[in-house]
């Protein structure tokens, strides 16, 4: 979906800053597609294609050093094994072995006002696209959710790329926030979209707002908004984050795949 959203937005010939799209062909048919950029993404079930992409990343490592890998676990693990056979020990700063992928389709979203017994009354979020004047608030929220989930400060990891991505989302009106009295109580962003599906990332409720159903109401309203335009909403969640998984399940999400993410150190490698 991420790759399709990229092509939907930018076409097959990507601007240099977005990286390169590579295809793996068998018998004249496209059997795999890869994004070679500081973020590595792949959709290929062929071992030969994954090995070929690993060789390409290895050859161009110094020119395009990877910062992150995010792909289905079955593909990512094979790719990493092939890359390690070429380079030796990889400079992986963090490996998230299991990241369930969850989705909710039109018609499956929990009805407004329906909560399990004993979970309080339904509230109304006041969700809206953020504007450029709120860059500082969003910068803090994006840093906080990344540090909390990954133990990595994105400004230390790759500050320019982190800030550039935030500015792009702001310009595209893909950052959504809920504020009260000038204070942030909920934030979520869109990282990719096609007519069929939209990928949500960085769902965040500040610690002092938790336990007040901010996440439940904010996510429900965001899903209502997005499902008016897309057939389904998709998101990743860490397998260890059971609180978030339960929240998404209450809203009608179900797990349908498993991804793997790797974060590479800025320096290192053979």
**Phi (first) and psi of residue 180, to 5 degrees:** -140, 125
Strand partners, 128: 177
Domain that holds residue 245: 101-258
- Domain stop point among 90, 124, 156: 90
| 113 and 34 housed in the same domain | no
The verdict on residue 37 lying in a domain is yes
Average of per-residue pLDDT values in the chain: 90
| 107 and 63 housed in the same domain | no
| 84 and 124 housed in the same domain | no
Q: How many structural domains does the chain have?
A: 2
| 112 and 242 housed in the same domain | yes
pTM: 0.86
pLDDT of residue 182: 86
Residues of the chain above pLDDT 70, percent = 93
pLDDT of residue 2: 84
The verdict on residue 82 lying in a domain is yes
| 50 and 125 housed in the same domain | no
If you average pLDDT over residues 233-240, what whole number do you get?
A: 93
Give pLDDT tens digits for 118-154. 444 455 668 999 999 999 999 999 999 999 988 889 9
pLDDT of residue 114: 55
| 46 and 166 housed in the same domain | no
Distances (CA, A) of 74 to 4, 20, 99, 193, 261: 19, 22, 12, 23, 12
| 113 and 172 housed in the same domain | yes
């Amino acid at each position: 979906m991420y790759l399709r959203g990229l092509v939907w937005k930018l076409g097959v010939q990507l601007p240099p800053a977005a990286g390169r799209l590579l295809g793996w062909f068998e018998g004249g048919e496209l059997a795999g597609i890869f994004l070679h950029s500081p973020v590595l993404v792949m959709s290929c079930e062929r071992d030969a294609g994954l090995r070929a992409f690993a060789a390409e990343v290895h050859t161009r490592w110094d020119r395009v050093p990877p910062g992150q890998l995010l792909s289905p676990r079955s593909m990512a693990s094979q790719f990493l094994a092939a890359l390690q056979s070429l380079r030796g020990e990889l400079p992986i700063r963090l490996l998230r072995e299991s990241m369930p992928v969850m989705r909710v389709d039109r018609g499956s979203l929990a009805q407004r006002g329906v909560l399990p017994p004993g979970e309080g009354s339904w509230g109304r979020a006041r969700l809206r696209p953020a504007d450029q004047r709120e860059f500082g608030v969003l910068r803090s929220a994006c840093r906080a959710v990344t540090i909390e989930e990954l133990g990595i400060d994105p400004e230390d990891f790759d500050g320019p790329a982190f800030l550039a991505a935030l500015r792009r989302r702001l310009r595209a009106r893909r950052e959504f926030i809920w504020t009260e009295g000038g204070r942030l109580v909920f934030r979520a962003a869109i990282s990719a979209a096609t007519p069929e599906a939209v990928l949500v990332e960085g769902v965040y409720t500040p610690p002092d707002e938790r336990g007040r159903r901010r996440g439940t109401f904010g996510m429900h309203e965001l899903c209502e908004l997005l499902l008016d335009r897309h057939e389904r909403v998709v998101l990743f969640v860490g397998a260890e984050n059971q609180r978030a998984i339960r929240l998404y399940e209450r809203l009608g999400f179900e797990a349908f795949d498993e991804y793997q993410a790797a974060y590479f150190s800025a320096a290192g490698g053979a």
